Amino acid sequence: MPDSAPWRLYIVRCRDGTLYTGITNDLDRRIRDHNRGKGCRYTKCRRPVRLVHTESFPDKGGALRREAQIKGWSRREKTELISQTVYPADSPTACDERTGPGANTHATC
């Protein structure tokens, strides 16, 4: 059965400056989960995270292949990709550490 929501590849920048790449079919929920400490083990102690790049795919397989490709890249290559990403200032995905979801939530690891 095909997925009803398009799949999204995303990259977030963590509080410590590291980058995390993942996929989801509900981007807002996934970013919220990361910032609540429920996203994954890697980002749990690096909150808050900030969305810095997304790409859409019609199916999970395409998103998984792109995720694997990007995870094999150097930080410089990922940073170059991110530098080409522009979000409108009023976009719900253009949140920052001070005003984004989970802004007052900090990990205690």
Q: Indicate the DSSP class of residue 20.
A: E
DSSP one-letter code for 69: H
Average pLDDT estimate for 3-28: 93
State the Cα–Cα distance between residues 24 and 34, nearest whole angstrom.
Answer: 12
Pull the structure tokens for residue 60: 């999970």
Indicate the fold that domain 7-83 takes in CATH: GIY-YIG endonuclease (3.40.1440)
Contacts of 103 (CB under 8 A, 6+ apart): 35, 48, 95, 97
pLDDT-derived band at 24, boundaries 50, 70, 90: very high
Domain segments of the chain: what residues? 7-83
pLDDT at position 82 is 95
Tens digits of residue pLDDT in 52-108:
999 999 999 999 999 999 999 999 999 999 999 876 555 545 444 333 333 333 333
Whether the model clears a pTM of 0.95, i.e. scores above it, the answer is: no
| Cis peptide, bond prior to residue 92, ω within 30 of zero | no
